[in-house]
Amino acid sequence: MTVRRLTALRLRAVGAVLALVAGILAATIGTAGTAQAASSLPCDVYAAAGTPCVAAHSTTRALLASYSGALYQVKRLSDNATTNIGTLSAGGYANAAAQDSFCSGTECIITEIFDQSGKGNHLTIEGPGGNGGQDVGAIANALPVTAGGHKVYGVSVQAGVGYRDNSTNGIATGSRPEGTYMVTSGHHVDGNCCFDYGNAETNSKDTGNGHMDAVNFGTECWFSPCSGSGPWVMGDLENGLFAGGNGTNGNNTGNSSAFVTALLKNNGTSTYAIKDGNAQSGSLKTDYNGSLPTTGGYIPMSKEGAIVLGTGGDDSNWSDGSFFEGVMTSGYPTDAADNAVQADIVSVGYTQAAQTFPVTGTAYRLTNANSGKVLDAQNCGTANGTAVQLWASLGNTCQQWKFSSAGNGHYTITNVNSGTVLDDKNCGIGNGTATQLWSSLANTCQQWDVTPAGSHYTISNVNSGMTLDVTNCGTANGTLVRQWAQLDNACQQWDIAP
């Protein structure tokens, strides 16, 4: 063999090694690059990592770069007509202007949230279950936010609102692995069961431990003690909201950011992990990564493969929450993929629309949209426990109310005559719980959310998650004003004007 031939062979060998190294490097960088590229949305990331989405739901944006179909459907209550809201472009943001135009002058509700994964796992309004009645749709314009610089709407879940698909395709069953995340809000939560997104029972009933695998977010401390006051990202694995381990986990310290990434993954046979992150910045924190609960029924899991949004597996529907986007995967996602998804979520730049109404300090009358009567302190009472009712407008201060900020977008509502505040009686959480006047206690039972409902507003209690409601839709003077699960009717809607 000549020296030239030997050199050529050596060069070829060196070249081959270099090519191999370059190939590995390219593959490595390519994976990371793909995951973080602007065109690589959450389901592109999970697909590239070998754990494709089998459900992808959002009212704010496409979750795959190629997706240009409908995101969700709204129904107009004036004539029951429906329309689908799509994206502005493939892989882009929701066309909220189409919703505004279609719903102009009336109220719309979100009737369906389409699955972008191609599996057909669309969510429709949940029917009755083992522990809750027929649900209603979220009010379509109740949760305006900005994403990618565009005005879009999230799904505002109040007590009584829920979505479900009990007949799915490709969702994990039995002990098969899956990952789930949702983007939610730490400013719209409560301690009632159960603001969930993910795997649940196909018959809408509690069928036992291990029959659910849904990510939960809220302030319900199911397994005491919990660390701090939450809200926490937890795993609803059925008959328990698990902060990690067998339920309690001091490392799960909660996340009250305006936008929260809530993530749960479960390999079905031995391990689960919980992560949370500020969806506006930074990375994910691993709250738990270890054994599935050893308390019976969770090893192995018995996933059933339905999908629930906004309620528990048995339709326990007393919780509040906000939903902007979420996916479920086939397979247990890698941490690298989770991190890339979080980076993509942060790049969206979710921001809350500034709440400029009602103006704090202004004396308003609250006129019921069904009856035309106003919210009134019974007999102009000033004592704690004074009932709150409807009455024809009298122009006095017993019928005037001032809003002041209680933080996180919540309000305290003060009666101008008495100086006492609108209160959820005994901090009740059930349908029919009374409202009354009480001196200020600075607790969530005396805090209220004011959210758009078409051209009117709903007023809902932060503690109960219930909506300010007129008893039996009465119209007579003296009809008591109480709290009830959201019903999407005018008896629960109010005009707020001086």
- What's the distance, CA 183 to chain centroid? 7
Mask of contacts with ligand AHR, 315-334, x by CB under 6 A? Answer: -x------------------
- In the bound state with ligand AHR, the residue whose beta carbon lies nearer, of 185 and 239, is 239
153, 146 in Cβ contact below 8 A? no
**Residue 175: other Cβ atoms inside 10 A:** 17
Q: Which of 99, 180, 239, 339 binds ligand AHR (CB under 6 A)?
A: 239
Q: What is the rounded CA–CA span in Å between residue 59 and residue 78?
A: 22
Least Å distance between CB 236 and ligand AHR? 5
| 132 vs 454, beta carbon nearer ligand AHR | 132
SS3 59: coil
φ/ψ of 31, rounded to 5, equals -65, -50
Output the smallest distance, CB 164 to ligand AHR, in A: 12
Q: Indicate the pairing of strand 285-291 with strand 271-278.
A: antiparallel
Counting residues that bind ligand AHR (by CB under 6 A) gives: 15
DSSP state of 354: P
Beta strands 108-113; 70-76: pairing state: antiparallel
Active-site annotation holder among 213, 238, 338, 449: 238
Cβ proximity to ligand AHR, 44 vs 135, nearer residue:
135
Tokens standing for residue 223: 């397994």
Among candidate residues 112, 126, 213, 314, the one labeled active-site is 314
Q: Can 314 be counted among the known catalytic residues?
A: yes
Q: What is the C-alpha to C-alpha distance for residues 107 and 97, in angstroms, rounded to an integer?
A: 15
Backbone angles phi, psi at 157, to 5 degrees: -95, 125
Stretch in the footprint of ligand AHR (CB under 6 A) among 238-246, 321-329, 399-407, 423-431: 238-246
Rounded Cα–Cα distance for residues 320 and 311 (Å): 9
The DSSP H or E segment spanning 337 is helix 335-348
Grouping H, G, I as helix, E, B as strand and the rest as coil, residue 490 is helix
Binding string, 206-235, against ligand AHR, x = CB under 6 A?
Answer: x-----x-----------------------
Q: Compare residues 197 and 324 and give the one whose CB is closer to ligand AHR.
A: 197
End-to-end CA distance of the chain: 100
Segment contacting ligand AHR by CB under 6 A, of 16-24, 119-127, 307-315, 350-358: 307-315
Whether 325 is catalytic: no
Residue 287 CB, shortest distance to ligand AHR, in Å, is: 18
In the structure encoding, which two tokens stand for residue 322, read together? 């906000």
Instruction: Fill in the per-residue mask, 174 to 203: x = in contact with ligand AHR (CB under 6 A), - = not in contact.
Output: -------------------xx-x-------
The nearest distance, CB 241 to ligand AHR, in angstroms, is: 6
According to CB under 6 A, which one of 210, 245, 254, 312 is a site residue for ligand AHR? 312
| 177-185, 308-316, 355-363, 381-389 -> range binding ligand AHR (CB under 6 A) | 308-316
Residue carrying structure tokens 């009117």: 456
Residue carrying the six token digits 């019974």: 378
Q: Which CA distances in Å does 95 have to 100, 266, 285, 365?
A: 9, 34, 32, 34
Contact pattern for ligand AHR over residues 127 through 166, marking x by CB under 6 A: ----x-----------------------------------
Residue in 230, 231, 240, 247 binding ligand AHR, rule: CB under 6 A = 240
Q: Which residue is nearest to ligand AHR (CB)?
A: 312
Secondary structure of residue 21 in the 3-state scheme = helix
Contact with ligand AHR (CB under 6 A) among 123, 140, 172, 241: 241
422 makes contact with ligand AHR (CB under 6 A): no
With vertex at residue 286, the alpha carbon angle to CA 285 and CA 290, rounded to the nearest 5 degrees, is 175
CA distances from 113 to 16, 22, 94, 305, 489 (A): 51, 44, 12, 17, 21
Stretches 59-67, 313-321, 357-365, 410-418: which one binds ligand AHR (CB under 6 A)? Answer: 313-321
Tell me the window of 94-102, 175-183, 237-245, 338-346 that interacts with ligand AHR (CB under 6 A): 237-245
Q: Give the residue numbers annotated as catalytic, written as ranges.
A: 238, 314
Which residues bind to ligand AHR, rule: CB under 6 A?
A: 131, 193-194, 196, 206, 212, 236, 238-241, 312-314, 316
